[in-house]
Amino acid sequence: MPVSRNRFVVGVFGAAFLEESHPAFQTAFTLGSEIARRGWVTASGGYGGTMAAASRGAAEAGGHTIGVTCGTLHRAGRRANPWIREEIHRPTVRARLTTLVGLADACVALDGGIGTLTEIAFGAVQIQTGELSPRPLVLMGKVWDETFQTFFRSAGPHIKAADRALFSFVSSPTEAVAIIQKHFDRLAGPSH
C-alpha cells in the first residue's frame, strides 16, 4: 500500500449517466457500500451515474470517497456529486484518467460506454507495460464479458494469455470484492 495513504483505494468506473431507478444504479451503490465496509476508499471520476451511486453507497456506509474531476468537464457544466469527500481536480480528461487509474490499488468497471472502456484499457496497458504494479482489473456485468470475450477471440494471437489474465470477470459486487480482498490480503502480508 502506498506510504502516502493508510487505506487501500478501489477505483470504480462506469456509466456517467444513469437514473436512480435503473438496476445498475443499485449495483454500483452496493459496490460502494461493500468497499466502505471493508475500510477501503472508493475513488471514481466524481460525477453522476455510476460514480454518484458508488460514492453514495460508500458515503452512507461511512466510507471515504475521492472524486477525480477535471476542467474540461467542469466547463461543460458537470459538477462533483454530493457524496464526494475529497475532490482531486485536474485540468484535462487525460490528466484525470492518469490520476484516477494511478490512484487505484484495484479497479472495478461496471457497465458503461467509451469513457469506461478507456479507463479499462488504460489501466490494462499501464499494468502490461509495468508502469503500474499488478492489481485487479475486475469487469462486472454482461457488457464487458461479451465485449472482451469477442475481442479476445477476434484478436487471436495478438493477445497473449498473460494479457487476458489481467482481467477478472464477475457478475456481482460480492464477487468483485472477494477478488480484491484476496489481492489486498497478499499485499498486506501475513500480519493481516
Amino acid at 84: I
Can you give 54-103 as a three-state secondary structure string?
A: HHHHHHHCCCCEEEEEEHHHHHCCCCCCCCCCEEEEECCHHHHHHHHHHH
pLDDT on residue 71? 95
Q: What percent of the chain is modeled with pLDDT above 70?
A: 96
| Averaged confidence pLDDT in the chain | 94
pLDDT on residue 191? 57
The answer to whether 125 touches 102, Cβ cutoff 8 Å, is no
Q: How far apart are CA 188 and CA 83, in angstroms?
A: 28
pLDDT on residue 24? 94
What are the residue ranges spanned by the domains of the chain? 9-186
Say whether domain 9-186 belongs to CATH 3.40.50.450.
Answer: yes
In which residue are the cell numbers 493508510 written? Answer: 6
Quick one: pLDDT band at residue 109, thresholds 50, 70, 90? very high
Instruction: Judge residue 62's burial from the number of C-beta atoms within 10 Å of its C-beta, 0-12 exposed, 13-18 middle, 19 or more buried.
Output: exposed
The C-alpha cell at 126 is 499501464
Quick one: pLDDT band at residue 6, thresholds 50, 70, 90? confident
**Mean per-residue pLDDT for 165-177?**
97
Instruction: Report pLDDT digits (tens) over 62-71.
Output: 999 999 999 9
- Helix axis angle for 23-37 and 50-60, nearest 10°, is 40
**Mean per-residue pLDDT for 173-190?**
92
Q: How far apart are CA 55 and CA 84, in angstroms?
A: 6
pLDDT on residue 3? 31
Q: How far apart are CA 184 and CA 155, in angstroms?
A: 31
Instruction: Judge residue 162's burial from the number of C-beta atoms within 10 Å of its C-beta, 0-12 exposed, 13-18 middle, 19 or more buried.
Output: exposed
The reported pTM is 0.93
Instruction: Report pLDDT digits (tens) over 45-85.
Output: 999 999 999 999 999 999 999 999 999 999 999 999 999 99
